[in-house]
Chain A
Amino acid sequence: MEEPLRAGEAPPPRPPPSGIEGVAGIMAGKVKWVTDIEKSVLINNFEKRGWVQVTENEDWNFYWMSVQTIRNVFSVETGYRLSDDQIVNHFPNHYELTRKDLMVKNIKRYRKELEKEGSPLAEKDENGKYLYLDFVPVTYMLPADYNLFVEEFRKSPSSTWIMKPCGKAQGKGIFLINKLSQIKKWSRDSKTSSFVSQSTKEAYVISLYISNPLLIGGRKFDLRLYVLVSTYRPLRCYMYKLGFCRFCTVKYTPSTSELDNMFVHLTNVAIQKHGEDYNHIHGGKWTVSNLRLYLESTRGREVTSKLFDEIHWIIVQSLKAVAPVMNNDKHCFECYGYDIIIDDKLKPWLIEVNASPSLTSSTANDRILKYNLINDTLNIAVPNGEIPDCKWNKSPPKEVLGNYEILYDEELAQGDGADRELRSRPGQSLGPKAGRSRDSGRTVLTTWK
């Protein structure tokens, strides 16, 4: 195995129980794991803990599964019942957050609810736009919301829109349009070219394209941030400190003549690695700490801290938006890959959330990062690497968090005095940066009020 085991030095295996228990005793104390994703960053982490691999038909304690498998595990027909010592890496209806259309639907609903409650967060400006909750690009479902979309499009006919299939990932099936006729053509083509009936036809979302992204070195990038949720009610989530930026290989141009050049517009590694300028040493990836250094140097500390505070804040809001509808199964935890684009006014936009962020390593650094990500995730989800008991209170001690830091802890927030804490939490939980971002965080606070 070429895995960088040195990166997260393996703890010495626990001493075998002495005497008569023997081999059976040792085996009984070990976590039995299954996975249907054959990635070395996973398997090395399981083996490092001395866990035992079993098949999915045997008794297992820990199953790292794909989203296809989770659907079967929790489907009504199979009726699988997880016992107290079993843990899986997805929530049963994670798609409420991780499907492009459902995420937008839930966020829209969440805004309306806040508005109805008269929450200060739902404040609007004179044009009827949310001051703080406007963090996803305007989005419609197709074909369902076609008329709404046309109405919006006619208001700003020079805008560019991005079409994405709801259920696909890695940039598959995505294209940009800037004319209504292109939608009509797409609709005609998909009707005639496939045999599938109208009802099962693939759903698309169409979103306003962020055509003014922040460029560095003339190129577009997005952020991939990892967020771990251990429970939705109460909400407890963690932010991974080592996110990264993914750069396009080709210089950005807002010109409409390049609308069909995906190397200009899509940052997905799955797309970019086919570009002729793709570099296999760094894979077009830049650490978030580099981004922070660059922004602090060129734009100043206050706006940089404000940007990162806002990013943390919109992630918490997106999780709060789905928390009421999420099946908060106690056997589940989930590590999400958040995609965020920053525009040239340094406003962050939530693009989408992935339930199964890629564990493929495109570079050496990438492998170390993902190995550590899984390592830290397991340390929180499976305390001490011992056989799990899903009834535990799910609040691990600070020492095991590794590169995670608490992003939001609903219980703590409520204990500290309701809503005010909600806003200051992202700023305060930045760990080492907490001291510095607090000052600027406070100025932001007042605007949120």
Chain B
Amino acid sequence: MLRAAMTGAARSLARNAASVQPARTFTIAAVASAGSSSSAAAAHDDEEGGSFARGLFSGRIRESQVFPFPAATILNEEAKSTLQMLVDPCAKFFETVNDPAKNDETASISKEAWDGLKEMGAFGLQVPEELGGLGLTNTGYARLVEIVGMHDLGVGIALGAHQSIGFKGITLFGTKEQKAKYLPKLAAGENIAAFALTEPSSGSDANSIRSRAKLSADGKHWVLNGSKIWISNGGIAEIFTVFAQTQVPDRKTGELKDKVTAFIVERSFGGLTNGKPENKMGIKCSNTAEVYFDDVKIPVENVLGQVGEGFKVAMAILNNGRFGMGAALSGTMKAMLAKSAEHAINRTQFGSKIKEFGMIKEKFAQMALKIYATESMAYTLAANMDRGSNDYQIEAAISKVFASEAAWSVADEALQVMGGIGFMKAAGFERVVRDLRIFRIFEGANEILRMFIALTGIQDAGKDLKEVQAALKSPISNFGVLSQEATKRIKRIVGVGHDTIKGVHPLLRGPAGLVESQATAFGAAVDSLLITHGRKIIDQQLKLKRVADAAIDLYASVAVLSRATHALNSGAATADQEVLLATTFCEDAHRRIRRNIASLNGKTTDGSYARIADSIFEKGSYDISHPIGF
């Protein structure tokens, strides 16, 4: 599946091979930015502000989206106390009413829990209050889904598929009428929503969907045919956000072309059916099913966004929906850590509590570092979205990749600490491990997201670089016309210092220095990649992967520095521990970044890897003579 997905992406990438050019049309299926990539509309997206991660690719440290720690100031006192009041009842519900083991066992959510969730208001966390929801900000949503993630990821997916993507399109793009018609019942949980994009032949490459809607002769309906697979809530939803090809006249030539359009489809329209619930590895209690459309008549007023703009709609929903994952998974990790820490503190082997052993300590330290970074990024992202930033796609992708891999490793190590007990179903670890596995696959496979992180960043760097290169041909006459960005780039290239993190607390100057030097090195490495490969960089997947990994580590480092700085400045009780966590994270990250950058230009086994893989694909198996000859 993954291979198919990657091939799909490569095709899509190739289609848009101009991506390292300043052109703004660059798209990567399923994860690309939704047209807002460089619009830089909001107050925090100005030249010196703007996406922190985007700036990194030009070797810049743009502090304004990270310092001071955005999550610390995003809630006013009233919002804070309201949110605080929501936390307890939500946690109590999951501790007393919902039974994750039973949900897993029966592959369904108990009626009691489902009704409880409805009564609680959990189906409309971000729907405006006047339409029957709780009207929470992204930060508020993140805080509550963290509790869900602590207890039951299956329930989390049912709720997330409903509101984080299922009807997110209505809240983002819906007309006033569409919102008034659909949101109240969706917020009450009376109607469940689903997001229907994926098809058998179209996974990560979302532009290649085959479902098709044709305008009826009288122009009043779109008639939809096709099928979707792996649709979360597909078997229980009443309202679907569906993506299908439509014939749209080209603006210039008038020639009809296939373009994706988004529709709000009600099950009650008729012609919509679903397959039986999929039997999955994890998140079993959430419903996943195929959905079929057989001449479904959709009123024209149910187009979501503009006809032909469906791809943009899909990507905006996915980008917007991604932020909750980091928060949910930080909850999962904290729960895992707490359970295994209890064991480590009490379990005696070889005459000592196992917490005394170095290898056990190492595991817990690494768990804590991963949680600290995941939380720092998730809440920075949510806060930036709350204050109106539109330029957060790279950060959202980074947060998703980091969180899903951190959670996988934390759950795995927590289980390891438990030893044999962890392997037993009753201990509750194996369920979480199974539940977590999907997070690296869905909502943009991590491989695709790495490509997205690297290419989106490189795209901007490429634009600047072109300017720089042109200017360098006749530097004197051109210097005045260079953008500030390009000027700084030239200064850096000729070795006149690098950006510093100004907002960092003096106690964190050491680790901040590591980040600064690596940010500069990273920018230079990106330049060098562009100069060497030009637009063919798209074919250098392993190089792009290292670029993405370095970007992830750099962003995470700055996020933890910002959070620890805030802890120091606000006199937080845990400030000392946070300094230790942030410093250690930056030191570890520094080593990883250095290694990744070094191997961009240095000797690697990438070529050998490709040859080994090719020989496997040729045979379709591991066809090597057996050690004992047969």
**Real complex partners, A and B?**
no
**Interface residues of A, Cβ cutoff 8 Å to B:** none
